[in-house]
Chains A and B, each alone.
Chain A
Amino acid sequence: MTDITASSFVRQDLVGERPAPVKTTGFVGLLRTRLFNSPTNILLTIVGALLLWFTIVPSVRFLLVDAVWTGNDRTACIGENAAGACWPYIQAKFPQLMYGFYPEAERWRVNLTFFLAAALLLPLLIPRLPAKGLNAGLFFFAFPVVAFFLLRGGGITGFGLSWTAGLLQLFDDSILNAGGALLNLSKSSAIGPLLWIIGQLIVLIGTAIQWLIFPLTGLRDQLQGTGQSVWADFAITTVVVSLIAFFLGGGIRSGWRALASSIATFAAIAIVIKLMGLDHGGFPIVETSLWGGLLVTLVVSVTGIVTSLPIGIALALGRRSTIPLIRIFSIAFIEFWRGVPLITVLFFATYMLPLFLPGNFSVDGLVRALIGIALFTGAYQAENVRGGLAAIPRGQGEAAAALGLSWWKTTSLIVLPQALRHVIPNLVNSFISLFKDTSLVSIVALFDLLGSLRASFADPKWSTPTTLFTGFAFAGIIYFIFCFGMSRYSLFVERRLNAHRRN
């Protein structure tokens, strides 16, 4: 019998303890693994630290440590204290940066509008809260109207009936004009008889429409004569619209729900009209030339957001349409607005648009900029929405068709809700660029936040070496809070939407 232990080595004693592994977690671990693990990395860390040291420290010193906090004019920020930010200047200019030249007595209207917007927007952004449909309806349809009458003031002289009649009459006048122009042209043209026939035809159509809408226009003229024209008009509109809703909703069988919601909507509108006194003049009118500061920035961006989405959806659907003319028009429209810089769009809206409108019809400067921005952003939103539409599998539309749904029902009930949910992050990103782009309206003589800031620099009362940097720091913080908040929100939504794809 051989001794196994003699031929092969068997360890007789315990192995010595190995040293504990290097810590790779926590602060020390971070230092060791991500900052100082190699000579190159040490060098990079030093470079990064130097970069931060030379940017963060002077900024903090400028904004907080060396800053001047109290004072009445430029003398407070000159001399010994000139090293830091001049916050009294912001204090003095704060109303201008927020409201522009909006009359001081009426500024509560602006504040109320801001409050309403926040109160409607916040619940819309929190996914857990209920009644998203109602909330979205209020924010996208009711709020803009209320905000318009709150901010600008003024009242209404008619309601649905008068407006419809006015619009139809405008359309009819234009047709009659065109016919008249053709008839005039036919006298001196080579193809005179043809033009004459077409002109006569158009005039005939115009006259027929005039007779068709006569009951409406006649009724409107009757109403204008009575003292309570708004309320009479309102009552008629309520009855007509509610009846239409009732019958479209299915008549006696299933139309009661539509009827109830229609009446409720009109009741709410009536309350708003009564509360704001729109039937007898409303609030005093504040011209938009007096608006300014953050107010204009927010008005422009919210209007852009609210109007660009429907335009974008319409264009995206048009681009996918099977009808050639509509598809071509949508493609041309989208590519045109996406191909030109926003500033030329604003120039277009400011200088060219007034030429295209009838001479007696002047459009407010702010509204012109809003039209330009809505068209421009609408084209970008169209591409976003199109991306969402393309992401919906064909089977969804086909299944809806198999169930016998019409195109409208397929689109509005099946395809669009899914597509829009897909592209919320992209839409929010577009809103961020829209918010940043609103600063461009200062170039076409509107005083938004940046424009007001630039105007406030010109005040000799506050001209100090630090005024410019203080002003830019203040405006920059405001812009940053809004944009950064939106981008974080879009990240949050994106993560929520992709929750199933994690791991």
Chain B
Amino acid sequence: MSTEARKPPTQIALRIRRVLGGKAGWNGVAVQFAFAAILGWIAYEIVSNARANLENQHIAAGFGFLRNNAGFDVNQTLIPYTGSDTFLRVFVVGLLNTIIVSVIGIVFSTVLGFIVALCRLSPNWLLSRVGEIYVELIRNLPLLFQILFWYLAVLAALPNPRQSISLLGLAFISNRGLVVPSPIGEPGLTPFLVMLGLGIIGSLALRSYSRRALFQRGQVIRIWPYVLSLLVGLPLAAMLAFGVPFIFELPQLKGFNFAGGSRIIPEFVALTLALSTYTAAFIAEIVRAGILSVHKGQMEAGASLGLSRGTTLRLIVVPQAMRVIVPPLTNQYLNLTKNSSLAVAIGYPDLVSVFAGTSLSQTGQAIEIIAMTMGVYLLISLVTSAIMSVYGWRISRSLGA
């Protein structure tokens, strides 16, 4: 006597259940429908309310306003801009200003962060205390507080342009900002840049060739003399052949202000200072944690293989520390970019300040403008996190996990 095999459940129903409810089954389907209904209801409320409110305020929805004349000036522009340009151009100007302050802030904060991290790791007791004080002080004060401090208190306390502080006679700091020599292109600029580019490409090619030779044939090729000659020699030859690529125009004090040179507005100086010192404190902690995360046996193993201290650091410790450092470091870069939006508090013309601030108050197109502004930041952070997940995937692959 044998029991009959149970029939498998109907596959189509199972599949439908799976598609609609995931692993949670019919319960999941019910919850999903309820959730979708609530979301739909909220969306309906938002859209109908927004439409009614916009009608009451006589504002036309849509992105047509971007082609209207802006009619206000911006005190720092990387591309030519006048008051008669469109709001779209204002958007681009603001975006470029955001990018420039972020990039410069990232460079400075990385340098300062590594220095502070080295201070904190130093065997010297006093220096490590100094690093610790710096980190604790900076991390426990709000960024906006620091920006306002630099802008309102420190920069405003600087002397006026006539008594400005001179740095080697090249740059001048005053309460009107920083005046630096500005480079002016000469006819020799184009060949110089071309040769520089060729040099960079050539050295990259050399590097990949030598690495392949090392990995496949075990052959060690010394490439640094060639790289040096490529990077320095080619542009130098171009300079000799076509003349000086650019000259610096030095700022001169004339009357009450400076003539010549380029002026960096005080808002930019304050924002860069605050952003880089603030982020440097966080970067210092990340770098310190990364270096401490490498087991000290690694260093000893390197020494027992006969590697010098520098080689051990370069080939064994730093690559392993970098694996721990890079993801949170990128996060800090992202934070710095997002924090640069605090520029609005001191009037530096970044994206939020000129677009979500001035343009919004002039046009009243709140929905479109804020959506665009948020979209830009969202795009930056999503792209960065996508790159980071690729990086994480490569790391885990190279670990052979």
Contact = CB atoms under 8 A, between A and B. Distances in A.
Interface of A: 30, 34-35, 41, 44-45, 47-49, 51-52, 174-175, 177-178, 181, 321-327, 329, 335-336, 338-344, 347-348, 351-352, 354-359, 432, 436-440, 442-443, 450, 454, 457, 465, 468-469, 472, 475-476, 479-480, 483-484, 487
B32 A48 contact: no
Given A52-B126, A450-B144, 16 more contacts: A48-B126, A324-B21, A326-B32, A339-B381, A343-B341, A344-B374, A347-B352, A351-B370, A352-B367, A355-B367, A359-B49, A359-B53, A443-B344, A443-B345, A454-B148, A465-B157
Q: What 8 A-B pairs have minimum CB-CB distances, sorted nearest first?
A: A34-B125, A483-B140, A341-B338, A48-B126, A436-B142, A322-B23, A339-B381, A351-B366
Nearest to A356: B46
Contacts of B126: 35, 44-45, 48-49, 52
Contacts of B145: 439, 450, 472, 475-476, 479
Contacts of B24: 321-323
Contacts of A329: 35, 39
Interface string B141-161: 111110011001100110000
A356 B50 contact: yes
A348 B124 contact: no
B41 A357 contact: no
A179 to B, nearest CB: 11
Interface stretch (B67-75, B129-137, B180-188): B129-137
Contact of B370 (A347, A440, A443): A347
B142 A357 contact: no
Contact of B53 (A324, A338, A341, A354): A354
Nearest to A318: B35
Contacts of B50: 355-356
Given A326-B31, A340-B374, A348-B374, A479 B127 contact: no
Contacts of B49: 355-359
A480 B345 CA distance: 21
B43 to A, nearest CB: 10
A356 B28 CA distance: 30
Given A174-B41, A323-B32, A341-B352, A469 B153 contact: yes
Given A436-B142, A487-B140, A325 B36 contact: yes
B156 A347 contact: no
Given A326-B31, A344-B374, A443-B344, A476 B22 contact: no
Residues of B in contact with A, size category: 35 or more
Interface in B340-380: 341-342, 344-345, 352, 356, 360, 366-367, 370, 373-374, 377-378, 380
Contacts of A351: 360, 366, 370
Given A326-B32, A480-B141, A344 B352 contact: yes
A165 B157 CA distance: 61
Interface of B: 21-24, 28, 31-32, 35-36, 39, 41, 44-46, 48-50, 52-54, 56, 122-127, 129-130, 136-137, 139-145, 148-149, 152-153, 156-157, 338-339, 341-342, 344-345, 352, 356, 360, 366-367, 370, 373-374, 377-378, 380-382
Q: Is the interface of B mostly helix, strand, loop or mixed?
A: helix
A443 B352 CA distance: 12
Contacts of B36: 325
Nearest to B39: A329
Contact of A322 (B22, B35, B341): B22
A268 to B, nearest CB: 33
Residue of B23, B124, B156, B378 contacting most chain A CB atoms (<10 Å): B124
Nearest to B125: A34
Residue of B22, B36, B374, B382 contacting most chain A CB atoms (<10 Å): B374
Contacts of A341: 338-339, 341, 352, 377
A484 B138 CA distance: 11
A343 B344 contact: yes
B378 A476 contact: no
Given A325-B36, A344-B373, A468-B156, A336 B378 contact: yes
Nearest to B371: A352
Given A443-B345, A483-B140, A35 B125 contact: yes
B22 A343 contact: no
Contacts of B129: 48
A359 B53 CA distance: 6
Contacts of B144: 439-440, 442-443, 450
Contact of A355 (B54, B127, B142): B54
A35 B53 CA distance: 69
Contacts of B56: 359
A52 to B, nearest CB: 6
Residue of B39, B137, B338 contacting most chain A CB atoms (<10 Å): B338
Given A344-B341, A344-B352, A359-B49, A352 B136 contact: no
B141 A344 contact: no
26 contacts: A30-B125, A48-B124, A175-B41, A177-B48, A181-B48, A322-B22, A335-B382, A339-B377, A339-B381, A343-B344, A344-B356, A351-B370, A355-B366, A356-B46, A356-B50, A358-B49, A436-B142, A438-B142, A439-B145, A443-B144, A457-B152, A468-B152, A476-B145, A476-B149, A479-B141, A480-B141
Contact of B124 (A44, A324, A439): A44
Contacts of B380: 339
A52 B133 CA distance: 10
Contacts of A327: 22
B53 A340 contact: no
B375 to A, nearest CB: 9
Contact of A343 (B32, B140, B352, B360): B352
A340 B153 CA distance: 29
A41 B130 contact: no
Contacts of B127: 44-45, 47-48
Contact of A51 (B39, B130, B339): B130
B285 to A, nearest CB: 11
A119 to B, nearest CB: 25
Contact of B143 (A432, A436, A468, A469): A436
Nearest to B131: A48
A34 B142 contact: no
Nearest to B334: A339
Contacts of B366: 351-352, 355
B45 A174 contact: yes
Contacts of B140: 432, 479-480, 483-484, 487
B170 to A, nearest CB: 24
A47 B339 CA distance: 32
Contacts of A175: 41
